[in-house]
Structure 1
Amino acid sequence: MSRPKCMHEETHNLIKLYITVFLSLSYCFFIASRIPKGKLRFLSLSPVFFVFTLLPLKLSSVILTGLIALFITWLSTLKLVLFAFDSGPLSSPPARSLPIFILISCLPIKTGQNPKKTPKLPLNLPIKTLLFLLLLPTVNHKQNLHPKLLLAIYCCLLYLLVDVVSGICNSVTKAVVGMELEMPSDEPYLSTSLQDFWGRRWNLMVTNVLRDAVYEPASSICGPILGPQRATMLGIVAAFVVSGLMHELIFYYVTREAPTWEVTRFFALHGLCVVGEFGVKKLLGQPNWGVCSAVYGPLTVAFVIGTAHWLFFSPLVRNGADERAAKEFMNLLECMMGKVGLTQLHG
């Protein structure tokens, strides 16, 4: 099949997907919201959950499939699960109009009044976008790169991609509806512990949704049975396991290959390590931990990168999804530059 025909078909499928999402969320806003919160509302939303699970299978692009799987199949579904019980961002006052309800449902954004922090490194959205575009072509020449350098590039690309996509979504939302939004990440390379990395610095939209939808219910239900401390530990592990399973699903959508469970093991391992870290902190005491964090911080980043190389990136690299995604980005950039050139020529 020729590339123009493929692009035309993909665009057609994407339009149908957007219409499906719009109709589904309109149903949630106008009809499901009128059903009493709890099990009945959850049941009324179950057809939407099923539809959202099928949506990424309609696309073939690595980039579009991954983004739809993350934004719609994962985040929107969990937000709607919270909405079923009148909780989460979709039940807050800003989501009382349909456009804002859809924006909060579909995009990795979170309203908040947290004070803005000045980053220690001068990396704003344009600089991150430029760095991403400069690093991207190296993926197609990975056979000429040292494995450790390639690993560092993959980690940088993942960080930059998350922040660029989330930052663009935040900028568009703020421009359209004027909502004050939280930053997607908070300099994860400066993490002082695994708890700091996963809880306060990396991909905060996903962290917040998992906290509301998995951690808090699990720890609350198990609290009377196991006690507060053990219930907290169980809630942490449950949130990481759910994150691993959702990443496994996204990887399936992108690769169309049977799950290897590597990425699930990655998140389960980190969940157990965070629990172990709590125990070490309790043993050392918070003041002593502050002294150790100067050493433990770099070790934390090294541990995240090392385990990502072992378990997280492997399925995508084996399948060639990394190279296909890089090629799609470069094709998109060439298309945009071509249109700019034509505009200037006609101008």
Structure 2
Amino acid sequence: MAFDGKESDNGVVEFQFYRPENRSKWENIQKAIYDKPSGQCFGRTPKNWGQLLGFYMIFYIVLIALFAICMQGLFFTLSEKEPRWKLDDSLIGMNPGLGFKPISPKTEEGSLIWYNITDPSTITKWVKLMDEFLKPYKTNQTGENFVNCDFGKLPKSDEVCVVPIQQLGQCNPDRHYGYHSSSPCVFLKLNRIFDWEPEFYNSSVESMPDDLKYHIDNATKSHDDRKQIWVTCNGIDDFDKENAKEFNYYPRGFAGYYYPYKHVKNYLSPIVAVEIVNITPNVLVSIECRAWARNIFYEGGSLKKSGSVTFEIQVDSDYKLPENNVTLYKTEVK
């Protein structure tokens, strides 16, 4: 603190200052926390603190109110029953993807299915994954809004069709889904797209495999039986087709009465079980499965794929790798 200055003879103004108080570090800390003479706590009087807290309280109340109004406005545009943007207006679009199970939880294994018939531990892994996938389908599908559908009995708007696991044929849990043999199974399922309805192939077309052509033209009993999204699987190239020649389907496609998907409670997507019969052992085989409907657009290739799914499968019959690692690299045996 300084006093008013006093001018000396040479014109220099001299001031006097108080010597600072000689306080200890602890006394400085105490004074910073609470200064008794001025009544300040942490450098502010109670009035200052009240003004500061009042300002921030009002500020955050207004901020929270504005956020709540914005969120309420957003929720007002949304529906719990259906998406705001559908089909072509949505990011998903209207071309459903085809997926398969089982898929290894290890990312580095990708879409490879590998097991050894003589090693139960490699078989158990895939059986458990299949069991986990089927859990929703094994629950009791009776009562509530479940109905047994067929082409003459379609579900009402608040009902869902039963997906019977009895239709899985040889791909059932009692047979370990074929993973105890050289004829393993995979499950196929279409991605859900709200309000999407399939346009069926009621007759065969030239681009279809011969077995599907025969099934549509000869094995279907009525026009209604052809209201399905057909499924086919084949090896990708000649080598793959030579080592995976036969496929069985349970059932042959996704029945039309499961569509469109309307986000109804308890809805389960239909599944198709595909049995790959007698794969050549100790060889890596690449397989592509495709869904057939007039409004499912197919595009092959390894980079951009549409309307189909690709996976690799290898069934070994012993513990030893053959020379030159031909079990892992099929290109070496071509």
- TM-score class, shorter-chain normalisation, is under 0.3
Greater strand content: 2
The one of the two structures with greater contact order (alpha-carbon pairs below 8 A, sep at least 6) is 2
Q: Which has the larger radius of gyration?
A: 2
TM-score, structure 1 normalization: 0.22
